[in-house]
Structure formats: C-alpha cells, structure tokens
Chain A
Amino acid sequence: MFTIKIIGVLLVVVTCSFIGTLKSRALFERRKKLLLVLDGVNMLHAYIDQGEFELHIAINNAFSKCIFLRFCEDKILCEDEDLKNDKSLIEEFFSQLGSTTKKIECDHINHFILKLKTHLKQSEEDIEQKSKIYQIMGICGGLTAGILLI
C-alpha cells in the first residue's frame, strides 16, 4: 500500500514538473519561432528589394523554415499556440503586402521588423522572468500535491 502511495506521489510530482517544464519551454519556442520569422522577413526584404520574384514566390522562399505559417489562397495564417500573442501582428503584416511600390513595401517591412523586435524582446524578458518560475512552480506544486495526498 505504501509503495503504491509513493508511486502515486512520484507520478504527481513528475506530472506537475513536466507541465511546468512545458510552459517554460513554450517561452523558448516562442522566441525561436519569432527569430525564424525575423530571418524570413529580412530575406523577404532582400527579395522585394531585388525585385525579381513575385510576392508568393518570395514569401515561400523566405519563410520556408516557418512551418507554423499556413499559406492559404490569398492570406497567410499563423496557427501556432506558442505565437498566440503575435498572431494578429504577423497576419496583419502579410495581409498588407503586395499592393504598392517597392519603396513602400520595404518601409512596411522595416516597420514590421521594429514591431517584431519589440515582441522578441518581450519574449526574452518572459524567458528570464517566467521560465524558471514555471519550472519551480511545477516542482513545488507537484511536491505540495504529493504531500497532501500522503
């Protein structure tokens, strides 16, 4: 009976720690994905500045690593749980592309890069502030629940 109790408690502790780690990992994932978007946007800027490719080809090439972006008929959707805070920014950026001159397109991209960098900075602050907290909360929560169960 005691052994079963111990196993149960361990299971609770491990599960809670795992959830905490997942939450913490999501912050790192967000940063990683935002960096991929930033790389893509910089590449897109270069493609548009070169003026050799149509927009859909330029986007496909520039964002080939961003598998979390879904290319629909005439819009691009960001369906990723890690980027839920950045979804509207990214989708709005793509919806405004392609209807104007090279100079204005480049200005639009530069403006987006600035906004994206703010989000990136925010995500880095989140990592610093929240990542450890989530992990500790997971372990502590698990231990508390375990003690209560005993």
Chain B
Amino acid sequence: MEKLRQIKFESPTFTKRIKGMLGVDLYRLFHTPLFYIFIAIAAIIPAMLIAMTGMTGPNGEPSTPLFTNVWQAIAADIPIYGFEGIEKYANMNMVFIFGGIMVSIFIGHDYKSGYVKQLFTTHAKKEDYMISKSLTCAFTMACMCVSYLFGGVIAGLLTQISFAVNVGNLLCAILGKIIMSLGWASLYTFLNVIFRRYFGVSIASSFFFGTGILVIGVGSIIGNTPVLNVFLYGSSVFACLSSNLWTLINCLAVSLAWTGIYILLGSHILNKSDVY
C-alpha cells in the first residue's frame, strides 16, 4: 500500500502522446506486408501505363501512344479538371486512389482486431488518433508517390520514350503531389472514422472520393476553372508539368486546410460517439 500512495498521474505532453501513437502506427506499418504491397502496386501502375504506349494492335500496327513523354505518366501537361481522356487522367494522382484503399485496410484492422480499444483506453484525446493516422498514411502515400516515380522512370527507360522536361516544373509537380498526400490521408482517415463499423463502405467511399469524380463532374459543368483548386483533387491536378512555386504554395495551403478540417471533424465524431 506504500507503493500505492506513491502512484503519480502526470499528464503526458502533446508531443509525448503523439510520439507514442505515431510510434505504434509506424512500427505496425513497417512490420506488416501491407505497406510493402502498396509500394509495389504504386511502382507497377506507371510501368503498366507506359508499357501500353508500346503496344501494337491486333494486326501488328502500332496503337496510338498513350504517352509521348515519360513525365506525362507522372503529371498532366496542364491542369485539366474535367475528363478529357485516360492519358490526362492516368498519372500520379492514381496513387491517391490506391492510397485510399490502403488507409481503409490499415485503419480497418485497428477496429477488426480490437487494437483500437487499447489505443482509446490509454489515449483520452481523440485528436491524437486522427493526427497519428493522418501522418502515417500521408507518409505511406508519399512513399507510394516516390515508388510511382521510380516505376515510371524504369518503364520509360525500357520503352525508350522521351524524357524531355523542364526539371523545375517537374520537381514542383512531384513535390505538390507529395504535399497533397497529407490532405488525402486525413480525408481517408475521416471517412474511415465515420464508417468504422462498415469496412466495405469505408473502402468504397475512399475509392469514390479518391477518383476525384465529384470535382471532375463539377469541372465538366462549370469548365476548367482554377476555383476547383480549393478541393483536394483540384490541387492534385493543379500540380502538373507546368507547375511553379505558386503551385507548391497552393498545394500546401489546401492540403493543410483540409487536414485541419478533417482532423477537427474526425475528433469531434470520435468524442461524441461510441468508438468501439
């Protein structure tokens, strides 16, 4: 009983709390196959897209090339918000679709295994959960973007298509998309918190939003306007091969703003509803 009287309850600082929860998520990420599978998927997608460029038709005639330049598989030449053919759509933005599925599986396992009970028993602050998941999943999607880049480059070398590009614009496009990973990760974390009891719905909703279909639909109606950059998909499209520093600032602002909104909304939902 003497020891009992010595029990002290020191409130952990925000940094210590996040370090603990983020540590768990990263440990789990690196010790399960999920992360490596999605990294591999990200590398395969551009390779497949670029490989299609060199395909021939049924009679042996060369088909219309999907890309004339390797970097078109990374980002579109100019921002096109509506749908104008698969070649304008199929680029690094596809990482965000597969990333959504990855986030759904990652968070879904928290609930399926019951581990989330351990997290919420020891962490009273629900925003810790939202922040940690968003950062971990953003890191994964950023890694997928890099993997996508390598997959594209290797496929380009093998198919010997053009590598001509303005390096500055290309770097801004890639960095812009990597920055957007955070916003997308927080959106998916939020969706998975809403549909935490319905794994299938979580995946379906992540896929739905990841395709950017809402912005594409609006873009087709109101036209190709930069107003759509306020949305995650809009800014992801904005990070294209004509990007510059302004693009990066735009991506950073939009990504952070949406991250903040989704973390606040997700924390509110977790605080006001039964978590398990």
State yes or no: do A and B come from one complex.
no
Using CB atoms and an 8 Å cutoff, list the residues of chain B in contact with chain A.
none
Using CB atoms and an 8 Å cutoff, list the residues of chain A in contact with chain B.
none
